[in-house]
C-alpha cells in the first residue's frame, strides 16, 4: 500500500435506496477518506432526494447509469434479495468493488456466479453482514476462540418481532425473498456458523403466512459436542439475544445482538456488563474494513470470506429444503 493509496478517498455508490441504505449512508458520513459519490434508484425523484439528504454528488434514475460512472470505487447494494446477483454482476463487470447486503443472493448457485464474476474481473466482492465487524461481536469471537471460559456447551440465538402482516411490504413478499428466514433468521444462523462452524445436521420447523412466506422458523444445529437452538419470527417479540453457554461462564450478547449493544459475562450468577461506547448505527465498521481492502488491492475479505458466504447460503438452502420453502 503506497502513501498515496493509504489516504485515497473512496468514492461510494449506493444502489437501492430503502431503509438500510439510509443507515449505511448516515454512517458513511462519519468515515474519514470516504465519500458518498453517487446514488441510484428507479426514479429520479427518489435518487435526488436521497442524494440531497446525504450530500452525494450524483443521482441516477437507473442502476446501469451508476455502474457506468468511472469515478465510483465501491458500490453498496441494498436492493431486495432477489436482485442481489443481477446488481452485483452489473457492477463487477465494470470493475467496481461490490459490498452486497445479506443474504448475498437467493441460493448457492447465484452466490457461485457472483464469486466467479468477481474472480473473472479481478474485482473485490464481499457480503455485507455488518454484525461480523462490530466490536462487541469481535470481542465475543475472541473469547470463544481463546476458550477464555472453556468450550461451548450450548448456543441459543433468536431474532423476532411482531408487525402486522402487509403483503405489499418487501419483508413479507415471497417473490422478493421475503419471510423470516432470509430476512432475520440469517442472524441466528450466523452466530452458530461463526462460532461453531458448519453443523453435522439440522432439524427445522416453520410456520407460514397465507402467501407462503415463512412467519417463523425454529432450528436446531447439531455438532459433535453441543447444539445450537436458533429461531426467527415475524409474529412474536423475542429477546433477540445470542447466548453462549460455556464451561466456566455464560457469554450473553444482549438484546438486538446483531447491532451495537452490550455483552454480559455471567459467572456463578454474577453478571458483568461490558459497554462498547458505540456512537454510530454500526454500519461504519464494515465500510471501514471494505475501504481498507480496496486500498490494499485485496479481492476478498479475510473476515467475511467467500467460503464463509458459501457456507452461510448453503445452510440457508438446507433449512429451506427441510421446511419445504421455495421461491
pLDDT digit string, tens, across residues 55-84:
999 999 999 999 999 999 999 999 999 999
pLDDT confidence bin for 5, thresholds 50/70/90 = low
> Alpha-carbon distance 87 to 309, whole Å?
17
Any domain includes 39: yes
Percent of the chain with pLDDT over 90: 94
- pTM of the entire predicted model: 0.96
Size of the chain in residues: 327
Any domain includes 86: yes
Please give the residue range of the domain that contains residue 60. Answer: 3-129
Any domain includes 311: no
pLDDT confidence bin for 299, thresholds 50/70/90 = very high
Residues 149 and 13 placed together within one structural domain of the fold: no
Residues 101 and 218 placed together within one structural domain of the fold: no
Model pLDDT, residue 91:
98
Domain count, the chain: 2
Q: What mean pLDDT is predicted for residues 276-296? A: 98
Residues 34 and 102 placed together within one structural domain of the fold: yes
The model's pLDDT over 162-216, given as tens digits with 9 standing for 90+, comes to 988 988 888 999 988 999 999 999 999 999 999 999 999 999 999 999 999 999 9
The model's pLDDT over 244-277, given as tens digits with 9 standing for 90+, comes to 999 999 999 999 999 999 999 999 999 999 999 9
> Alpha-carbon distance 325 to 202, whole Å?
15
Q: What mean pLDDT is predicted for residues 109-119? A: 98
Model pLDDT, residue 168:
83
Task: Give the Å distances, CA to CA, from 327 to 82, 212, 215.
Answer: 9, 9, 15
Model pLDDT, residue 7:
76
Residues 142 and 191 placed together within one structural domain of the fold: yes
Model pLDDT, residue 3:
42
The larger pLDDT score, comparing residue 163 to residue 225, is at 225
Per DSSP bridges, beta strands 242-246 and 152-160 are: antiparallel
Q: What mean pLDDT is predicted for residues 155-165? A: 94
Residues 108 and 142 placed together within one structural domain of the fold: no
Longest CA span, the chain? 59
Model pLDDT, residue 271:
98
Amino acid at each position: 500500500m503506497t502513501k498515496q493509496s493509504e489516504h485515497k478517498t473512496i468514492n461510494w455508490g449506493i444502489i437501492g435506496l430503502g431503509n438500510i441504505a439510509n443507515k449505511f449512508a448516515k454512517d458513511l458520513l462519519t468515515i474519514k477518506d470516504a465519500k458518498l459519490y453517487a446514488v441510484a434508484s428507479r426514479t429520479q425523484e427518489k435518487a435526488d432526494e436521497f442524494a440531497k439528504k446525504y450530500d452525494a454528488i450524483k443521482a441516477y434514475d437507473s442502476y446501469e447509469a451508476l455502474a457506468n460512472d468511472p469515478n465510483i470505487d465501491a458500490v453498496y447494494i441494498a436492493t431486495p434479495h432477489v436482485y442481489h446477483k443481477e446488481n452485483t454482476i452489473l457492477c463487477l463487470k465494470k470493475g467496481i468493488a461490490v459490498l452486497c447486503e445479506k443474504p448475498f443472493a437467493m441460493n448457492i448457485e447465484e452466490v457461485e456466479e457472483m464469486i466467479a464474476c468477481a474472480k473473472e474481473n479481478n474485482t473485490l466482492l464481499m457480503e455485507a453482514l455488518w454484525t461480523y465487524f462490530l466490536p462487541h461481536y469481535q470481542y465475543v469471537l475472541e473469547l470463544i476462540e481463546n476458550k477464555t471460559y472453556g468450550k461451548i456447551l450450548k448456543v441459543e440465538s433468536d431474532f423476532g418481532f411482531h408487525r402486522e402482516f402487509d403483503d405489499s411490504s418487501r419483508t413479507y413478499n415471497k417473490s422478493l425473498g421475503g419471510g423470516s428466514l432470509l430476512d432475520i433468521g440469517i442472524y441466528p444462523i450466523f452466530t452458530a456458523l461463526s462460532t461453531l462452524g458448519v453443523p453435522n445436521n439440522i432439524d427445522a420447523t416453520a410456520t407460514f403466512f397465507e402467501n407462503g412466506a415463512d412467519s417463523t422458523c425454529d432450528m436446531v444445529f447439531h455438532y459433535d459436542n453441543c447444539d445450537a437452538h436458533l429461531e426467527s419470527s415475524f409474529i412474536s417479540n423475542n429477546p433477540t439475544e445470542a447466548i453462549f453457554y460455556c464451561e466456566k461462564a455464560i457469554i450473553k450478547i444482549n438484546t438486538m445482538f446483531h447491532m451495537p449493544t452490550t455483552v454480559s459475562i455471567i459467572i456463578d450468577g454474577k453478571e458483568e456488563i461490558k459497554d462498547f461506547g458505540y456512537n454510530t448505527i454500526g454500519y461504519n465498521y464494515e465500510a471501514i474494513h471494505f475501504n481498507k481492502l480496496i486500498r490494499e488491492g485485496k479481492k476478498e475479505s479475510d473476515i467475511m470470506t467467500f467460503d464463509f458466504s458459501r457456507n452461510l447460503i448453503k445452510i440457508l438452502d438446507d433449512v429451506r429444503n427441510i421446511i419445504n420453502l421455495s421461491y
